[in-house]
Amino acid sequence: MVAEWKEIVIGSATRGLELQGKKGDMPPGHNGPWNDPQTPVRNTAHWSLLFLEAFKHTGNEAFKDAALKAAGYLASHEARPMNATFYCRYAGSKDFCNGLIGQAWVIQALLYIGEHFQQHQYIDLAQEIFLLHEMDHSSGLWRIRNVDGSIGGISHTFNQQLWFAVMGVMLNKLQPNKTIEDRTNLFFAKMMDHLQLARSGRIIHVIGHVRLRYRIIKSVYRLYFNRHQREHQYLLEHGYHSFNLYAFALLYHSVPDHFIWKMGNVRNMLKRAIDYTKNPEFKATIQRNKYSSPYNPVGIEMACVLTVFKDYLEDSNIQEVREWSRLQLEQHYDHEQHLMNQNTSDPDTLSARLYEAGLILEKIG
């Protein structure tokens, strides 16, 4: 399995060399099923990590050069035209920064590239971007910072808050900062107030206090969540379930001594959430869910999650890891084009998200 993933990562990175623009940019997608026209920023961040992973396993300088060119693009004026947050999308009614998650993805790339190649300017930039985001201290949740520098509202999407917090912890590990440490500690201290599981173990998309408001105002709840919208909400939560778990896996892999791993309710939550993925309903829904493997690479994410947490949860099943890997590759990877671009509405973005497989190789490669 490890050998296969190495071959696929290297093959796809080799193909990526042909796709990279002169400025270091990579082909933009449209945010999968959200259909938001994107700038090259997001996919360039993803590809930089795929190039980095290929370089680690081959020593091929072409991959190093491509990773650094991509990071250079992310640090350019084009990526931050107003010297505030990264310009990720140009979708009329939505913010251009893609909430917290758009920034978290770029911070992830800057951290990894900066650390591996000792390019500290990228870590400094990641820290600058992170600190631009103000926290609401009463809730322990971050506010969005727009591309023009203006302050937006609190992001009510749990996965975005989680990913941003995880990047903050990883950033603080590399370059300690008291403000970042305090804010991330506050988020994780309050996290279980916001994280809700359905009875099945599925992670609820909207943060806890918003869900509570819907429950209290029942008439509005019923109006807002009609049958069609309830189905959409279910598919949304199903599709992003492994994406949430992958963020927890990143945190455990990078900072195994973080205080949340000593919290019994966190352990129980993760066990329930992972058990949900073993439910036949979970796998059966993947094929019909546009938010699942055609966009969020659930097969890669679950293979990583099970690999990373096997000791923490005392649950190891290598066959499950193989099955999840096979599911993603059989459905979406083109061995002739060397891209994960099949059976998806956004082949450019799904191809870039192959970078997530790097966690498997880091853990057992």
pLDDT in tens, 288-303: 999 999 999 999 999 9
| pLDDT score of 315 | 77
Per-residue pLDDT of the chain (365 residues; tens, 9 = 90+): 677 999 999 999 999 999 999 999 999 999 999 999 999 999 999 999 999 999 999 999 999 999 999 999 999 999 999 999 999 999 888 999 999 999 999 999 999 999 999 999 999 999 999 999 999 999 999 999 999 999 999 999 999 999 999 999 999 999 999 999 999 999 999 999 999 999 999 999 999 754 444 444 444 555 555 777 888 999 999 999 999 999 999 999 999 999 999 999 999 999 999 999 999 999 999 989 999 999 999 999 999 999 999 989 887 788 999 999 999 999 999 999 999 999 999 999 999 999 999 999 988 76
| pLDDT score of 318 | 87
Return the CATH number at 205: 1.50.10.10
| pLDDT score of 214 | 45
| pLDDT score of 364 | 72
| pLDDT score of 144 | 98
| pLDDT score of 62 | 99
Structure tokens at 328: 């993603």
| pLDDT score of 310 | 92
Residues spanned by the domain of 18: 2-364
Task: State the SS3 of the chain.
Answer: CHHHHHHHHHHHHHHHHHHCCCCCCCCCCCCHHHCCCECCHHHHHHHHHHHHHHHHHHCCHHHHHHHHHHHHHHCCCCCCCCCCCCCCECCCCCCCCCHHHHHHHHHHHHHHHHHHCCCHHHHHHHHHHHHHCCEECCCCEEEEECCCCCEEEECCEHHHHHHHHHHHHHHHHHCCCHHHHHHHHHHHHHHHHHCCECCCCCECCECHHHHHHHHHCHHHHHHHCCHHHHHHHHHHHHHHHHHHHHHHHHHHHHCCCCHHHHCHHHHHHHHHHHHHCCCHHHHHHHCCCCCCCCCCCHHHHHHHHHHHCCCCCCCCCHHHHHHHHHHHHHHHCECCCCECCCCCCCHHHHHHHHHHHHHHHHHHC
Q: For 151-170, what is each residue's pLDDT tens digit?
A: 999 999 999 999 999 999 99
pTM for the model stands at 0.95
The tally of domains found in the chain comes to 1
